[in-house]
A and B are shown apart, each in its own frame.
Chain A
Amino acid sequence: MLLLPLLVGLAAAAEGDADALLREELDAALATWTARGEAPHHVALALVEHTVVDLGATAGAVSRDDTRLERTLDVDLRMGTPTLDSTHTLRGLSLLDDDERGLLRVPFASVGGDTALRLAVRRELDARHRNARERLALLEGERAVLVEEEDPAPDFTPGAAVRIDAPAQVGALDRAWLGTLVEASRLLDRAPEVVESAATLRLEHRERVFVDTEGTVVHDGWGDVLLMVRASVVADDGDTLDVTRIVDVARPADLPAPDAVLRLAEEVVDEALALRAAPRAAPYTGPVLLSGRAAAVFLHEVLGHRAEADRNKRDDEGKTFLEQLGRPVLPSWVDVVDDPTLPTAHGVRLRGHYAVDDEGVPAARAVLVEDGVFRGFLMGRSPLSVQAGSNGHGRRSAGNAPAARMGTTILTAEGGLPPEALRSRLLAELRAQGLPHGYVVDEIQGGFTLTGRVVPNAFNVRASRTWRVHADGRPDELVRGIDLVGTPLAAFRALLAAGDTPEVFNGTCGAESGWVPVSAVAPPLLFRRLELQLKEKDVARPPLLAKPEDAGREQGT
C-alpha cells in the first residue's frame, strides 16, 4: 500500500513477501550462529507498516492535511536458555538496565528489489545478537556478585506455532471531512474566551508481519480513527482549562455524521465556558462517585497496572498484588478480567482488542479478580513464580521490548444500582459521615500511577469534570482544579457500591514497553472514602487583549 504522491514510481518493498523475507533472513542467521556455537534460544521479528492520515482545523483554517508512511522492525532475540536469557533484568550498575533498541525505520518502498529491506533486517539481527551476547556476559558476572532475586522464575515460556492471516480492513479517510473539521473549528473559535482550539481526525492503520523461531507466522492489522474536538480557556485565576471530546472508531465508516461533530464542538465550548466560571474545589476526603468512564480509568490505573506480571517480577517494584493472590482485594460482588479478544462492549468499539500479542501468543481472557478475590496476573512470556504461561498480554509499541500489558480491562459488579439509587446511596453516605458535600467525577483526562518502591505507591486520576454534590439537596455544582489520588489497596477497600450503566474508556497507555491502545470498561463506582487533591495551575494572567474577531466570517467569506 503506497499512498504518498512522493513515492510515485516506487514499488512497495517486499509487500506480500515480507514474511518469506523475514523467514529467510532468520533461517540464514540461525545457521550462521549455530555454526559459531552462538545460537539464540528464541528470536522473533516483527515488521510493522504504519499509515497515519492526519486532518485538522483550527480557527476556521486547515491545520493539517497529511499522510505519513513508515515501516518499523523489531527483533526480539534471546541468548542463553529459557531459564536465564539475555532479556533478564540487569540489577547491578551496568548502565544497560533497559533494552537498548530504539525505533528502527526500514524501507517501505524501493527500486530494484528487496536488497535494502533485507540488509536492514540482517543488520538489526546482527546488532541484537551482539547486544544479547553482551547482556548475557554481564548477567553472569552480576549473578556471581548480587544476592538471589526475589522471584527466581525463568525468563521465557516456550510456545506453539501460531498461523494467522488476517489483515485489517480499515478503509480510507474521505478528505471531505476537512470541511466538517473547518466548520467545527469555527464553532470552537467563536467564543472570545476560547484561547486555543482544534478539531482533528487521525486515521491509523498498522499491518504487521510477525515470525519467530517457533514457526509462528502472523499477518494481521489494526485500524483506528480518532476524532478529537478540543477547546482551551483561561480562568481569571490563570487556570488553563482544556476540554476535549474524543470519538474513537475502528473504521472511517463508523464515524458520526458531520452534524454530530458540530454539536460536539458546541458542547465542548459550552463546557469550557462553564468550567471557566466554576470555582476551584478544595482538597477533600470522603464519599466520591465515579462515573463509568472515570471508574474505568480508575480501574486501569489502580488495579490494571499492578496486575502486569513484569511489574511483579522486578526487585525494584512495589508488587502490590503479589502477596494478595487468593485473597480478597475488592468486595465479593466484583469481578475483573482483561479480555483483548472482545471487539466491542456495550455497543462501543474496544481499542484494546487484538488477536495475537507482540510475542506471537494468541490473546486470551485473563481473570484478575473473581468474587473480589485476586486470582491472577496479566502474563506475557516471562513467567512469575506464582503463575506460569502467557495469556497473550505481551505488548509493545515499535522500538520497545514486549512486556505484560493490559488490553481491555473489564470490571463487572453483581447487583449494580440504577443511577438514581446510586446517587441516593451517595447522599446517604454523606449524611452518615456528617459531611456537607461529596463529589461526582464524570469526566477524566487520563491518569497515571507509580508502582516502584522509593516513591509512594500512589495513583492520580486526572479529573476534568467534577460536580460537588450537596447533602442538603441543593443543585450539584460544577467545580474545577482537583484530581483523584490515593493508594491502591486502601482505595479498593473503600468501594461501597456500583452502578448498572457500564461505560467504555478507550485510550492509549504509555509504560515501559511503549504506547499501546487499551480499553477499560466499568460501571459507576461509589467509594466510601477517596481523596481529592488540588490540580496544578498556571499562573499567567489571561490574555491581556481581546481575541481577534473573525472579520472574514462576519463578511460571509
Chain B
Amino acid sequence: MMAWLLPCLLATALATDEVPPAERALVEALEGELARAHAELALPGAPAPYHARLTLTLLAQRSVEATLGGVVRADMSPVARLGVEVRVGSPALDNSGFGGWRTGFRQAALPDQPTPHAVRVRAWRELDRAYKEAVEQQSRKVAQVVLPPDHPGDYTLTGSIQAAPVPPSPALMPDAGLRAATLSAVLAAVPGVLDGRVHLAQEVGVAWVIDTEGTRVRRPVAETTVRAVVTVQAADGAQLVDQRLWTVRSPDDLPSEAALAEALDALARGAVAAAAAPALEAEYVGPVVFLGDAAVDLQRWLLLPQLEGTPPDLPFDTIFGELGGSDDGARVGRRVLPPGWRVVDDARGVPGHPGMAMHDDEGSFTRAVEVVTEGIVRTLLTSRTPHRAVPDGTNGHAWARWDGRAAGRACFTTVEAPRAVPEARLLRLGLRAAAAYGLDHVLVVERLQEPAVRDARGFGDDAPALPPPVVAARWYADGRRVPVRSLRFAAVDRRALRDIVAAGPVARADVLLPRDGRAANLGPVEGHPCRVEAPTVVVAELELVPTPGDPSAVPTLPVATAAPEASEP
C-alpha cells in the first residue's frame, strides 16, 4: 500500500539550515523508521497503516518548588520523548475516536542523550506496538459501532507540511533554585501565611512533528513559568488558597525581581485580608459582577468547551461500563453569549507568548478563527478529526498529549462585547440589578479558585461549572466594598453566559490549559500556556452558597508565619 511514499519521503531531505546536525540525524532516523513501518508493517488479514505520525520532543528544563524560602524539589533532567500515532483502515473509519485504551496512540521516554540508533530502536518498538493496538482497536470499533449516515469520517489527510524556522532558544536559568527560594521567602515575611510556595519551571527546546504524508515541522518550545501559591487559614478553620501566574518565553521577559516580590507580597497580604473577611452566612441569589481574573475564568470554564469541535470518543461498551462517549459540548448555531458578542481564537495572535505557535500539534498551520458572532457559535476549533458542522476540516487548533488523539482546543481566545462601560458604571448596573432582588448590595467576584493549586471539589471535567470564588466582596451603593469568603457557586452551567447583562473593561490573563481538555490533573506549572481576554461583566443571576469552615482544623501550634495570636492555646 502506498508504495510511492517511501521514495517521496526520502526525496524531501531536510532543508532547514538552522537544524543542528545531531538533531537532524535524530529526525532522519525517525523518518527512516516511520517510512519502513508504513511500508512494511502488516498482519495477516488485518488492515495496513494508512497514516502514522511521530512527534519528537527534546527539551532542557529546570523545575523548582520552594516554600517560604526553602527548596523542596529541584529537577533539571532533560525531557526526550517520542509520541506515536498509527491509524489503520481509512480516513472514513479508522481506529481513532473510540473509547478505551491501547488505541494506537502511544508515547515513550527516549534516552536523555538520544542517538539516532537509540531513537530508531525505540520508534521501531513503539510503532510495532501502536500498529497492533490500532488493528485491535479498529476491530473493536467496527464490531460495536454503527456509524450514522452523516458520519464525517475519522481523519483528514492534508498532504505534507514543511518545517518552519525556529528562533534561537533563550538560555536556561542557572539560578532557578535561588530565584524560587528568594521569591518564596517574600511570602514568609507576611504574617498569617500558612504556606507560601513558588513553582518555577523553564523548558527550552524543540518539538518535531513528522508523518507519513511527508510532514516535517520543527516547532520551538521556550517557556518560563512562575506560579506563586499562598495558603491562609481563617479563624473558623476555612483554608483559602490564592495564586498568581507568570508565563513568558524567556526569563528576561519576567517582571523584575522587585516587581515579582511586590506582586507576591500583595498576593499574600490580599489572601490574609480575604481570610479575615466574614464568611457568607446565607445563600446569595442575584446578580454577580465578575472583575479581573474572575471575568477571564468565567469564559475559560463556561465558554471555551463550547468552542472545541473534535467529537468525543464513541463509547466502547466494556465490562467496566461505557468508556468514552462524554457529551459533545460544542454546537454550531447555539447561542453562547448575548447578541453582538464575538469570539476569536488565534494561536498567532500574541507574538512572543510562550504558547504562540505557527503550527499545531498535528503540524497544521495555525490561524485565526472567528468562532462566535452575534453571540452564536458559527464554527468550531478543529483538528484533523472532522466535525460534521465544520466541513472545511482542520483550522489549526489541534492540541494533544504525547499519547492521545489531538483535539480542537481553544488557547488564545478573545471575547469581545459590542459595547463596554467603565467599571464604576458596571458596578452601578450590578447594584441596580440587585435591587430587583431586594438586595442593598451586589456580589463582586474578583478571583476564582485555580484547580491547578487546589482541588476544587465538585468541579469536574465533564460538567461545565465554576470553581469557587477566592476573592469576593459585597459592593454597596455608597461605595463600600466588604469582603466575604467561604462561598461557592451552586448549579451554574454554560447558559449563565447568555445572562450577561453588561460588559465593562477588558480583562486579560495567561492560563495553563490542559492539552487533553482534562483540567483536574494539571500540576501548578503544567499545561499549555494560553491567554484569554474577556470583558468584565454582570451576570443577571447566579446562586452562591456558604462553605463552612472546619473548626477542628484550627491549628493548636503557631503554624503560620509570624502570627503570634495563632500560638495561643
Interface residues of A (CB under 8 A from B): 4-10, 13, 28-29, 32-33, 35-36, 38, 57-66, 68-71, 105-113, 115-117, 119-120, 122-123, 125-126, 129-130, 134, 189, 195-196, 540-541, 543-545, 547-548, 550-553
Contact A550 B125 (CB under 8 A): no
What is the chain A residue whose CB lies nearest that of B558? A122
Q: Can you report 20 residue pairs joining A to B where beta carbons are below 8 Å apart?
A: A9-B177, A9-B178, A32-B567, A35-B569, A36-B569, A61-B114, A64-B111, A65-B112, A66-B112, A107-B69, A111-B185, A115-B188, A119-B68, A126-B559, A189-B121, A540-B132, A547-B124, A550-B117, A552-B116, A553-B117
- In this assembly, does B542 line the interface, its C-beta being within 8 Å of a C-beta of chain A? no
Contact A33 B128 (CB under 8 A): no
- In this assembly, does B491 line the interface, its C-beta being within 8 Å of a C-beta of chain A? no
What is the chain B residue whose CB lies nearest that of A72? B72
The answer for the CA separation of A109 and B36 in the assembled complex, in Å, is 50
Nearest-neighbour CB distance to chain B for A546, whole angstroms, equals 9
Contact B185 A552 (CB under 8 A): no
Contact A60 B117 (CB under 8 A): yes
Contact of B181 among A10, A38, A544 (CB under 8 A): A10
Q: Which 8 pairs from chain A and chain B are nearest by CB?
A: A107-B70, A116-B70, A61-B118, A110-B70, A9-B178, A62-B113, A63-B111, A61-B111
Give residues of chain B (94-130) contacting chain A, Cβ–Cβ below 8 Å. Answer: 109, 111-122, 124-125, 128-129
Contact B556 A123 (CB under 8 A): no
The answer for the CA separation of A112 and B68 in the assembled complex, in Å, is 10
Residues of B within 8 A of A126 (CB): 555-557, 559
Nearest-neighbour CB distance to chain A for B22, whole angstroms, equals 12
Contact B125 A543 (CB under 8 A): yes
The answer for the CA separation of A9 and B117 in the assembled complex, in Å, is 39
Give residues of chain B (30-63) contacting chain A, Cβ–Cβ below 8 Å. Answer: 33, 36-37, 40-43, 62
Contact of B178 among A8, A106, A115, A553 (CB under 8 A): A8
Contact B117 A122 (CB under 8 A): no
Known: A10-B177, A126-B557. 14 other contacts (CB 8 A): A4-B177, A36-B569, A59-B111, A59-B122, A60-B115, A61-B114, A64-B112, A105-B73, A109-B181, A111-B178, A116-B69, A119-B68, A550-B117, A553-B117
Known: A6-B176, A10-B178, A107-B67. A544 touches B72 (CB 8 A): no
Contact B175 A116 (CB under 8 A): no
The answer for the CA separation of A36 and B568 in the assembled complex, in Å, is 10
Residues of B within 8 A of A189 (CB): 117, 121
Q: Which of B111, B113, B567 has the most CB of A within 10 A?
A: B111
Contact of B111 among A7, A58, A112, A544 (CB under 8 A): A58
Known: A4-B74, A10-B178, A107-B67. A551 touches B557 (CB 8 A): no
Contact A13 B124 (CB under 8 A): no
Contact A123 B72 (CB under 8 A): no
Residues of B within 8 A of A66 (CB): 77, 112
Nearest-neighbour CB distance to chain B for A94, whole angstroms, equals 16
Contact A548 B115 (CB under 8 A): no
What is the chain B residue whose CB lies nearest that of A196? B125
Contact A109 B71 (CB under 8 A): yes
The answer for the CA separation of A83 and B470 in the assembled complex, in Å, is 45
What is the chain B residue whose CB lies nearest that of A64? B112
What is the chain A residue whose CB lies nearest that of B109? A63
Interface size class of B (residues with CB under 8 A): 35 or more
Residues of A within 8 A of B559 (CB): 119, 122-123, 126
Residues of B within 8 A of A7 (CB): 71, 74, 177-178
The answer for the CA separation of A70 and B65 in the assembled complex, in Å, is 11
The answer for the CA separation of A405 and B559 in the assembled complex, in Å, is 34
Nearest-neighbour CB distance to chain B for A223, whole angstroms, equals 21
The answer for the CA separation of A551 and B115 in the assembled complex, in Å, is 11
Residues of B within 8 A of A116 (CB): 66-70, 184, 188
- In this assembly, does B561 line the interface, its C-beta being within 8 Å of a C-beta of chain A? yes
- In this assembly, does B138 line the interface, its C-beta being within 8 Å of a C-beta of chain A? no
What is the chain B residue whose CB lies nearest that of A178? B113
The answer for the CA separation of A35 and B567 in the assembled complex, in Å, is 12
Known: A36-B556, A62-B111, A62-B113. A112 touches B178 (CB 8 A): no
- In this assembly, does B553 line the interface, its C-beta being within 8 Å of a C-beta of chain A? yes
Nearest-neighbour CB distance to chain A for B122, whole angstroms, equals 8
What is the chain A residue whose CB lies nearest that of B40? A545
What is the chain A residue whose CB lies nearest that of B178? A9
Residues of B within 8 A of A552 (CB): 115-117
Contact of A543 among B111, B124, B555 (CB under 8 A): B124
- In this assembly, does B552 line the interface, its C-beta being within 8 Å of a C-beta of chain A? yes
The answer for the CA separation of A13 and B178 in the assembled complex, in Å, is 13
Known: A106-B72, A126-B557. A59 touches B569 (CB 8 A): no
Nearest-neighbour CB distance to chain B for A148, whole angstroms, equals 29
Contact B43 A544 (CB under 8 A): yes
The answer for the CA separation of A112 and B69 in the assembled complex, in Å, is 7
The answer for the CA separation of A59 and B116 in the assembled complex, in Å, is 10
Nearest-neighbour CB distance to chain B for A37, whole angstroms, equals 9
Residues of A within 8 A of B132 (CB): 540-541, 544
The answer for the CA separation of A552 and B119 in the assembled complex, in Å, is 13
What is the chain B residue whose CB lies nearest that of A124? B559
Contact of A59 among B70, B76, B115 (CB under 8 A): B115
Nearest-neighbour CB distance to chain B for A241, whole angstroms, equals 15
What is the chain A residue whose CB lies nearest that of B71? A109
Residues of B within 8 A of A119 (CB): 68, 188, 195, 559-561
The answer for the CA separation of A338 and B417 in the assembled complex, in Å, is 75
Contact A61 B561 (CB under 8 A): no
The answer for the CA separation of A541 and B136 in the assembled complex, in Å, is 13
Residues of B within 8 A of A33 (CB): 556
Nearest-neighbour CB distance to chain A for B46, whole angstroms, equals 11
Contact B121 A59 (CB under 8 A): yes
- In this assembly, does B433 line the interface, its C-beta being within 8 Å of a C-beta of chain A? no
Contact A5 B76 (CB under 8 A): yes
Q: Which of A29, A110, A126, A134 has the most CB of B within 10 A?
A: A110
- In this assembly, does B64 line the interface, its C-beta being within 8 Å of a C-beta of chain A? yes
Nearest-neighbour CB distance to chain B for A239, whole angstroms, equals 16
Nearest-neighbour CB distance to chain B for A452, whole angstroms, equals 25
The answer for the CA separation of A120 and B70 in the assembled complex, in Å, is 10
The answer for the CA separation of A544 and B129 in the assembled complex, in Å, is 9
What is the chain A residue whose CB lies nearest that of B42? A544
The answer for the CA separation of A85 and B345 in the assembled complex, in Å, is 60
Contact of B557 among A57, A110, A125, A553 (CB under 8 A): A125
Known: A69-B74, A109-B181, A122-B558. A548 touches B121 (CB 8 A): yes
What is the chain B residue whose CB lies nearest that of A109? B71
Residues of A within 8 A of B121 (CB): 59, 189, 547-548
- In this assembly, does B174 line the interface, its C-beta being within 8 Å of a C-beta of chain A? yes
Residues of A within 8 A of B115 (CB): 59-61, 552
Residues of A within 8 A of B70 (CB): 13, 106-111, 115-117, 120
What is the chain A residue whose CB lies nearest that of B39? A545
The answer for the CA separation of A545 and B130 in the assembled complex, in Å, is 13
Nearest-neighbour CB distance to chain A for B8, whole angstroms, equals 20
Q: Which of A6, A29, A32, A110 has the most CB of B within 10 A?
A: A6
What 1/0 mask marks residues of chain B from 344 to 370 whose CB sits below 8 Å from any chain A CB?
A: 000000000000000000000000000
Residues of A within 8 A of B131 (CB): 544
Residues of B within 8 A of A196 (CB): 125
The answer for the CA separation of A57 and B110 in the assembled complex, in Å, is 11
Give residues of chain B (535-567) contacting chain A, Cβ–Cβ below 8 Å. Answer: 552-553, 555-561, 567
Known: A7-B74, A8-B177, A58-B118. A29 touches B557 (CB 8 A): yes
Residues of A within 8 A of B109 (CB): 63
The answer for the CA separation of A123 and B68 in the assembled complex, in Å, is 13
Residues of A within 8 A of B71 (CB): 7, 10, 13, 107-110
The answer for the CA separation of A112 and B128 in the assembled complex, in Å, is 54
Residues of B within 8 A of A60 (CB): 115, 117-118
Give residues of chain B (121-160) contacting chain A, Cβ–Cβ below 8 Å. Answer: 121-122, 124-125, 128-129, 131-132
Q: Which of A4, A66, A68, A109 has the most CB of B within 10 A?
A: A109
The answer for the CA separation of A5 and B194 in the assembled complex, in Å, is 29
Contact A130 B178 (CB under 8 A): no
The answer for the CA separation of A110 and B181 in the assembled complex, in Å, is 6
